[in-house]
């Protein structure tokens, strides 16, 4: 939960590797939270066959980057000021690739359309940081987890038995939006 102090808009990108036994495609799982509350999530089979775990994670980072960029525009339209969004990933190779300014011989085979996150990093529109596997909230969207891991993810992502709860930060957002609407009216 300390991660929420970095930016109000946080992304979590994870992938399994070739878990689809028929096509050998990986599954991407992404969660985006605003002020610590999940506002967007997805679990999706990747459209290409990744050649490594790192490539599968990098593709998932790009999917999350697209979503977080769109949500950044939405939050700005609501006149909520946020710092640069952060996307967390638990694969050191994918994080390193995201932070590189150019492709190297080991990554040049990755399709151009999956280079979006690198572009956002170079423009300083998003940060990509590594997080421990045990802290990866999006893990639940890529593979079955045991009870202990599910409990950890539920607690970290603020999921309760009754659904999502509103934190003080979320209530502040609602209040800011209400005041903004009142001023416009």
Query: Domain with 84 in it: what CATH number?
Result: 3.30.420.10
Q: What is the pLDDT of residues 135-162, one digit of tens each?
A: 888 887 787 756 665 566 555 665 554 4
pTM above 0.85, yes or no: no
Q: Say which residues have a Cβ less than 8 Å from residue 106's Cβ, sequence separation at least 6.
A: none
Q: Say which residues have a Cβ less than 8 Å from residue 10's Cβ, sequence separation at least 6.
A: 3, 4, 32, 33, 36, 85, 86, 87, 88
pLDDT of residue 83: 92
Q: What is the pLDDT of residues 28-76, one digit of tens each?
A: 999 999 988 889 999 999 988 988 899 899 999 999 999 999 999 999 9
Contacts 24+ apart (CB under 8 A), 160-167: 164/37, 164/38, 166/37, 167/35, 167/36, 167/37
Containing structural domain, residue 75: 2-184
Number of domains in the chain: 1
């Amino acid at each position: 939960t300390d991660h929420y102090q970095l930016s109000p808009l946080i992304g979590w990108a994870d992938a399994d590797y070739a878990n689809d036994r028929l096509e050998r495609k990986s599954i991407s799982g992404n969660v985006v939270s605003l002020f610590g509350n999940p506002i967007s999530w997805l679990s999706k089979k990747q459209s290409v066959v990744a050649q490594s775990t790192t490539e599968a994670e990098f593709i998932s980072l790009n999917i999350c980057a697209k979503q977080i960029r769109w949500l950044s525009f939405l939050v700005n339209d609501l006149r909520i000021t946020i710092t640069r969004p952060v996307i967390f990933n638990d694969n050191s190779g994918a994080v390193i690739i995201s932070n590189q300014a150019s492709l190297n011989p080991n990554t040049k085979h990755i399709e151009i359309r999956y280079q979006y996150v690198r572009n956002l990093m170079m423009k300083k529109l998003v940060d990509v940081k590594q997080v421990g596997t045990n802290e990866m909230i999006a893990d639940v969207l890529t593979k079955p987890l045991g009870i202990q891991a599910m409990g950890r993810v539920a607690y970290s992502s603020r999921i309760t038995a009754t659904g999502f709860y509103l934190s003080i930060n979320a209530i502040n957002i609602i209040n800011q939006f209400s005041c903004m609407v009142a001023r416009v009216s």
